[in-house]
Structure 1
Amino acid sequence: MVRGKNILLGVSGGIAVYKACALTSKLTQKGANVRVLMTENATKFVSPLTFQALSRNPVYIDTFDEKDPEKIAHIDLADWAEIAIIAPATANIIGKLANGIADDMLSTTLLATRAEVYIAPAMNVHMYANPAVVENMQQLNEWGYHFIEPGAGYLACGYVGKGRLEEPETIIEVIEDHQQNDEPLKGKRVLISAGPTREVIDPVRFLSNRSSGKMGFALAEAAAELGAEVTVVAGPTGNQMKNGGIKRVDVVSAEEMYQAIHRFFPESDIVIKAAAVSDYRPKQTFKEKVKKSGDDLIIEMERTKDILQSLGEEKQHQFLVGFAAETEKVLEYGKGKLEKKNLDAIVINNVSSEGAGFAGDTNIVTYLNRKLEEENLPLASKKAIAENLWKLIIRDMKDELD
């Protein structure tokens, strides 16, 4: 599973660096394209030349050592990587990642990469159990980082206990097993709605909302990474998805979104309605621009079709997930929507909370399934929220099949 993969190996400063040499060699022997990125402290234990010889690639150390003027080295490296491994991962680099600190090339590159990151810690047994380190690892785990737990035994410091870097063979085995099982949505057709809709008043005016589509697009990209065949029905938004394999259908109005969703719905296995669809539209529209006058303008509104309600009524085999953006009685309204619209799960968020509103890059949500099991996902990037939501959806789908 690592053959042909672009693997970034991040090596931080600890006595276990010598094992990273063997890891580099074994990955290269398996056909992986390995590039090594070392911290300055790591070079105190093993020379960069050793990793260069084993990987047959230049070794990266200094953020400001820009070898190619046409590229920003750490961004180019972050984009190149398909898998990132930190081995050994010290308490220091774990703390940096968990707190968004980027003060050297390794931490800067890791914050910029979209690759799956595997962290293999190595440290003193008491450091590994320190509450700060434990909390940092828990935070990274919630964000979707993968940990390869250290082994127990005699440590370089003389202690005996957990904290020894796992053997290179085991690290590779864990990654290969995870990669092999990392497409749980393979063969599934996923349909997602994203963004706002616009309801026309006249040629220059329309009614809409603040939705940016970022959450829906993050869910779509995460689904594609899990092996799904993804279609996104997107309202008018300038956001672009980075995964070119996702089918995108652009619509404008609530009626157009209704028609598009229903066109793809019968063949879909999982449907997530993350779009913020207008509940009302002007009963009368104007072909010419409405001119202002001395009187108040009254626009009579009519209900648009309830897309989610119609999907709940028609669903057969589909796993249907709705979104509820609320500002008060969040769980109460979300639960009511779950039951009324015959959903399998609902994602609820209080859009008035800091970090959870429209157009931002972060979110805070509560996932509620039809068993009324509640999962709270704290403030995180929408990418991380999307990845964790898919874990919950996949879990609940398996429970239903069982």
Structure 2
Amino acid sequence: MHTRWRGITASTLAAVALAGLVAGCDGDKGKAQVAGDAGALDAGPPQPVLGGELAAELAAAASGAPPERPAPGGGAADGPPANGVFSLQAALAALPKDVPYKIEVIDEGSEPKARLAPKIDPKAEQKLNITLGLRMGGPQGLPNLDLGVSFKAEKPADGPKDAAPAAGAAPTKVIAKVTSATLASMSIGGPPKELGDALAKLKGSALRYDLSPANVVSNQRPELAKDADPGLQPIIAALGEAIALLTPPLPDKPVGAGAYWMVTDRAVVSGAQLPVLRYRVFKIEKVEGDVVSFSVDTRQYAEGADLKLPGPNGDVTLTIDRLESAGKGSLAWSPPRLAPATADASQRLQALLVPPGASGQPGAQRSVAQVELSAKFGAPPATTE
């Protein structure tokens, strides 16, 4: 008896996820979920523990007590804001719009050192199984999925024979194509046929993106398969976020074991469509041959205080009163590969939101928004002839 999935279609899965993004603080169940840090994901490494200040504000929101908050954007003058929300001007100062990313080496590590750079075989294909989880508003959201994904470098378009060479190295055009899609965990007998059929139609969906000589993912262009339900678009967006999160940007100087560097760039949080400034610290844990094992820690900060959410009468703009977002992961990368051969990561975003016009008003009703993303990369399951 597939009680959990009875009557659920692909479209309603996405609708439930979006509706659950923001949960009011009225209800005992909501308070319990807030106090319990909103539970854990079904897959991936242990969830990052967020700072105690947001937890205290969540408890105050649930009890109706007025919050004690820092000054807007408070924090060190040259550091990220204490409340997790950049002003638009401060965000531009931290990373100008015409600067796609910054890589700052903090420690070059131990000898021997080497310059890391991708060495892509344009004819090679890399196949991965990616387990993807996306939760919005606590337990609601899309079920964890197993996606078969094929990575290939796209053949560059032929240009005029007498064209002058482009300045600098051109990015590699990559296409990550979904070859299969199933639920990661299923009850006895498998998923309902309706849901299984809807997921199967994701086959052929793709994510096109650029991979720079510094191994930076940019210019993502998701493509949903022709017959796929449009309600499953968040899956392709979450796949893109996971690939970008776990592809390590590489510094332009030799580094060795123990080296670590910080990457600052912009991202959009899946599900919430929230622009953030993202800070990732990559550390080389070990080097074995051409395989480099990394750990990665992530922090994200809202790029502005406005968050637009779909409502029954059109979009509603809420004010982000406070935001915290943290993540952890590990991955194994080697120069010939377009994506890490193995990776395991999770990140969580939590925010306190106030309705339009209520920002700064004592005792204003506030809501809690939560988005959780998990991703696990590995070899595809063996096939038997």
- After TM superposition, the score normalised by the length of structure 1 is 0.23
- After TM superposition, the score normalised by the length of structure 2 is 0.23
Greater RCO, CA 8 A, separation 6+: 2
